[in-house]
Amino acid sequence: MAYSGPFTAGDRVQLTDAKRRHFTITLEEGKSFFTHKGEIKHDDIIGKDEGIVVKSSGAGEYLIFRHLLVDHVLSMPRGAAVIYPKDAAQILVEGDIFPGATVLEAGAGSGAMSMWLLRAVGEHGKLISYEIREDHLEYARDNVADYMGGHPDNWDLRLGDLNEASREEIGQVDRVLLDMLAPWEMLETVKDVLLPGGVFLTYVATVPQLMKVMEGIRETKAFTEPKAWESLVREWKVEGLATRPEHRMNAHTAFLISARRLTDGVVAPRPQRRARR
- How many angstroms separate the CA atoms of 12 and 6, rounded? 12
More confident residue, 110 or 67: 110
> Is a pLDDT exceeding 70 seen at residue 56?
yes
pLDDT of residue 275: 67
- Summarised one tens digit per residue, pLDDT across range 99-118 is 999 999 998 999 999 999 99
pLDDT in tens, 175-202: 999 999 999 999 999 999 999 999 999 9
* Per-residue confidence (pLDDT) for residue 164, from 0 to 100: 92
What pLDDT band is residue 215 in, cutting at 50, 70 and 90?
A: very high
Burial class for 26, CB neighbours closer than 10 Å (0-12, 13-18, 19+): middle
For residue range 22-38, what is the model confidence (pLDDT) as tens digits?
A: 898 999 999 999 998 99
Q: Would you say residue 272 has pLDDT above 80? A: no
Residue 79 pLDDT greater than 90, yes or no: no
Q: Cβ of 209: how many Cβ atoms within 10 Å?
A: 20
Structure confidence at residue 1 as a pLDDT band (50, 70, 90) = low
Q: Above pLDDT 70, what percent of the chain?
A: 99
Residue 185 Rama label (left phi>0; alpha psi -120 to 50; beta):
alpha
**Over pLDDT 90: what percentage of the chain?**
79
Centre a 10 Å sphere on the Cβ of residue 269 and count the other Cβ atoms it contains. 7
Q: Angle of helix 134-148 relative to helix 112-121, nearest 10 degrees?
A: 50
pLDDT in tens, 131-169: 999 999 999 999 999 888 899 999 999 999 999 999 999
- pLDDT at res. 57: 93
Q: What is the pLDDT of residue 90?
A: 97
Mean pLDDT of the chain: 93
